[in-house]
Structure 1
Amino acid sequence: MTTPTGAGPRSSGPLTGTEFAELDRLIFEDDDWWAMPSADQTALRHRLVTAAVTHHLEHSADYRRFAEASGFTLADLDDPAGLARVPQFPTRMFKRMEIRSVPAQDCDVFKSSGTSGTQSRVWRDEPSLERLAGSLRPEGDIWRTLYGDIDLDDDGEMVHLGPHRHEADGVWISYLMTLVEMFAATRSYVHDGVLWLQDAVRDVGTALADGRFVCVAGPPVFVAELLRHMADNSIKLSAGDRMAVITGGGWKKNESTRLDPDELRSLAMDTFGLASASQVRDVFNQVELNTAFIECEHHRKHVPPWVEVIVRDPHDLAPVPAGRPGLMSYLDPTARSYPCFLLAEDFGTAETDTCPCGRGGTTVDIHRRMRTSSHHGCALRLAETVRTA
């Protein structure tokens, strides 16, 4: 299977209805998703999720049985309020079942962390991967607040603190972070289980000296390791506005090992000599979710308008009002190869007000994992298996 480039969709096989053509135009051609009025976003999600539910009911026997057992029918989707009734798989079901809506030979398998028997296994075909890549498309307005008018293809350098996809063994965060290759020329700095910090520092300094825009991307734990290495060796840079730091993955395994995003931003500003804390951004995704949520300059994670976020009361799974914490759940129509209708194991909140950055739509804040879960997340599992040098 070829690697998504973000340049645009290839054939989506049987999923070629009007709604999916609309979805692909939005993902691959629209540079400012969040300018869409709120009412239009609501109507869009209703159309797209309804089409996706119809597809997966037809093509996934497991999802069809699950929906029938839930008493759900397509008549429940006669209006947007019915989206809350769409059956959602608990994400742990991906640890127990092979959930697909297309043939296995059309897919690659991506894994979360954990030992054998406890990993989520998600089957993605090429259209699903391309849409995921499209949600990270560097032409988007939310990214341009980082690098302005710089041509990243010619003047950018990506420093990826992780393994290349060929060494990732299907672990999702490793693969996801390699999609930074869409931005600019990229080097990866985990090889044979070793994070080569000295090489990363050297190459960052060289690229800045050459006048290039540098983006350091990786799990928060690896960015923290790089910053500690630089502090231990009394290394500071003066990047100004010629640098960005992008993190993706888990922030804590437990309270004793928690990384604080504000502290990491402050340390990155001081160590790299950044002009603004807005140059440090986080991206939220998990192996079962097929869209990335990107942090804006005010550090709020924006949900693209095609994803329905429903925060649920953990006791009865009823939807809770905006701003009230609960279990996060998602209806994501971008996945063709599996039903991406998920009840996650994270507690968080969703807001529907206009962000201080001026973008409308939904923003999310992920607070913590369920304490009953032993699943640490791909980034933290990666940190447990990689040494530094």
Structure 2
Amino acid sequence: MAFSLEQVLALEPYSLGKAEKRALYTRALSELTRTHAENCWEYRRILEVLGHDCAGDSFPEGQPMLPVRLFKRYNLCSVPREEVAKVMTSSGTSGQQVSKVFLDKQNVRNQTRVLTEIIGSFIGKKRLPLLILDSAQVKKDRAMFSARGAGIVGFTMFGRDILYALDEEMRLDIPAVEAFLKKYEGERILLFGYTYMIWQYVLQELHSLNAGFSIKDGILFHIGGWKKLKDQAVSPQEFNERVRRAMGNVRVHNYYGMAEQLGSVFVECEHGHMHCSNYSDVLIRRPKNFSLAGEGEKGLIELMSLLPTSYPGHVLLTEDEGEILGEDDCPCGRLGKYFKIHGRMAGAELRGCSDTYERR
């Protein structure tokens, strides 16, 4: 039976148990591997060097994985160039190469649908008043845009009457935020931003001014930028507590993802666990020999996604370190693996959207 993403999209996003998901990913990832081998010369050559046989289906752990750095060095594309609707680039520090991800219209639509299903399962189906904890300048400045700007623009589909909390000089506009909160007093407020930007330009600023906001019902989604916070000895628990002290009754959800698998995000639940949805999964690899690590054992994070059809990004080996905590038994009730991220491996490139921001 051929894999159909439409059938998976018809399900609740955290509804597949271990056996069902393993069967699905064995079939779906094998089909994607064959498709990309047929349509991407560079990928086919990699498989030949690895000695991977695409003829039959392979279990998820047997699928060939691409290091994310390859997307910085090669133009890996599985559709004719005239069908490429968008080229997504990752964030990087000055002088770094950036990853290039080639998306056709169907891939863009699938990413949007999946992101909508995942975030919608946390906030509901209604668009909420949205406070972006960043500057609108990020949409205009091409040097700042890339994955950071795309992440902000992508998140705006969940909001209405959007306000950017920072001005063009990255200064917090407290009067504008207070007016926004007063306007929507009694309603649920959605907030979004990049982790380090929120810490540096919102939380630290409010702390220095001995000021704060009084949100009665808020949900904050934030992503990226943990390296700088760890350098400052800021834990996720402290970050969440500072958000609540500075802003009020705000439920905080960190989430994890990357430009090379945009749309396949892993959201932190109410118990602080990162969750795999039906559309994505993780394995942990031992750095010395890339063998599978056991539950509770730290290693390199391997990401698998059902979405990349226009480029061979369905199985990626990251430079991030993490561990699987369990599967199908998180107290939040969501099925699938849940895991913890420990940060970048020593010697890995700096690549986060807000890790790499430098005030100019």
Decide: shared fold, TM above 0.5. Answer: yes
* Cα distance per residue 1:318-347 (max 9 Å; x no partner): 111122111111222301221112111011
The one of 285, 288, 308 aligned to 1:335: 308
User: Where does residue 118 of structure 1 map in the other structure?
Assistant: 97
Cα offset, 1:260, TM superposition = 1.8
Structure 2 counterparts to residues 1-389 of structure 1, below 5 A: 18-19=2-3, 22-27=4-9, 29-30=10-11, 32-75=12-55, 77-78=57-58, 80=59, 83-105=60-82, 106=84, 107-137=86-116, 142-144=121-123, 152-153=126-127, 156-163=129-136, 164-169=138-143, 170-185=145-160, 186-189=162-165, 194-198=169-173, 201-210=174-183, 211=185, 212-224=187-199, 225-240=201-216, 242-253=217-228, 255-274=230-249, 279-290=251-262, 291-340=264-313, 341-353=315-327, 354-382=329-357, 384=358, 386=359
Q: 1:269 to 1:109 in 2, by over 3 A?
A: closer
2:88–2:146 contact (8 Å) kept in structure 1: no
* Cα distance per residue 1:277-299 (max 9 Å; x no partner): xx011110112223111111112
Cα offset, 1:268, TM superposition = 0.9
Q: Which moved more, 1:255-264 or 1:326-335?
A: 255-264
Give the letter aligned to residue 176 of structure 1. G
1:351 and 1:331 map into 2 onto residues whose CA distance is 17
Give the letter aligned to residue 308 of structure 1. D
2:89–2:98 contact (8 Å) kept in structure 1: no
2:279 and 2:170 map into 1 onto residues whose CA distance is 36
2:13–2:121 contact (8 Å) kept in structure 1: no
Point out where structure 2 has 5 or more consecutive residues left out of the alignment: none
1:95–1:119 contact (8 Å) kept in structure 2: yes
2:220 and 2:139 map into 1 onto residues whose CA distance is 20
1:280 and 1:255 map into 2 onto residues whose CA distance is 18
2:179 and 2:76 map into 1 onto residues whose CA distance is 46
Point out where structure 1 has 5 or more consecutive residues left out of the alignment: 1-16
Give the letter aligned to residue 115 of structure 2. L
Q: What's the TM-score, normalizing by structure 1?
A: 0.82
Aligned length: 349
1:297–1:357 contact (8 Å) kept in structure 2: yes
* Cα distance per residue 1:153-174 (max 9 Å; x no partner): 3x52332424454435552132
Q: Please report the RMSD computed on the Cα atoms of aligned residues, expressed in angstroms.
A: 2.5
Residue 177 of structure 2 aligns to a residue whose secondary structure is helix
* Cα distance per residue 1:131-162 (max 9 Å; x no partner): 22333216756413xxx6xx743x52332424
Cα offset, 1:348, TM superposition = 0.6
Which structure's residues are more often strand, by fraction? 2
Q: Aligned residues: percent identity?
A: 23
Q: What's the TM-score, normalizing by structure 2?
A: 0.88
Cα offset, 1:350, TM superposition = 1.9
Q: 1:213 to 1:272 in 2, by over 3 A?
A: same
